[in-house]
Amino acid sequence: MCRFQSGYLHRHPLLADLDFYWRIEPDVEYYCDMNYDPFVFMQQNGLKYGWNVAIPEFMATIPTLWNTTVQFVAEHPKLLASDSLWPWLLDEHGNYNGCHFWSNFEIVDLSFYRSAAYQTFFDYLDRAGGFFYERWGDAPVHSIAAALFLNASQVHYFDDIGYFHPSVLTCPQDARTKGTCVCDSNKSFVQDGICTVRFLE
């Protein structure tokens, strides 16, 4: 599944005539009224990747993903965006911090996944074998790619959408007083997580 989501979903014939996609999974809940079209919002603002939850990955599942990424960057430095989110991926010692956008919620301009840069990156990872011999998830793969190949201004945090996926709840701050959401922001922990905080810095 992770390999398919990383490298083949955007090539599926059912998506051939689509410009954007929103990943919606079973057993998820959305808690807020939406008075705008997120696809139109992304298109009008030149956004390529939209996310709602950012958390650290279980590093034991991807022990060689970062070293493989560093090797890729060394071989393809011209593919990196001029104002990338590369620093967001690093801790204070310059090591990979595991931060990733949870791909259970992602809204994406498919031209990003169809780009030469993304496809070159996926093919490089695929040849390395980590999808099979480790558990390279589509969330860290998508996130690292977004951090490398997109400018920071092209990545958007949909902090106004209340979202629940089993084990994770994110709810906009002051949601109940604003009257547009039915979730309790006091029970939401994602916004205060290190990965979200670092993105907003």
Helix (H), strand (E) at residue 168: strand 168-170
Helices (H) and strands (E) in the chain, counts: 9, 9
Q: How many angstroms separate the CA atoms of 115 and 146, rounded? A: 12
Q: Name, in order, each residue with C-beta under 8 angstroms of 55's C-beta and a sequence gap of 6 or more.
A: 99, 100, 102, 168, 190, 193, 195
Active site (catalytic) residues = 106
Q: Are 163 and 52 in contact (CB under 8 A)?
A: yes
Q: Name, in order, each residue with C-beta under 8 angstroms of 76's C-beta and a sequence gap of 6 or more.
A: 120, 121, 124
Q: How many angstroms separate the CA atoms of 78 and 81, rounded? A: 8
CA 3 to chain centroid = 15
Q: How many angstroms separate the CA atoms of 89 and 98, rounded? A: 7
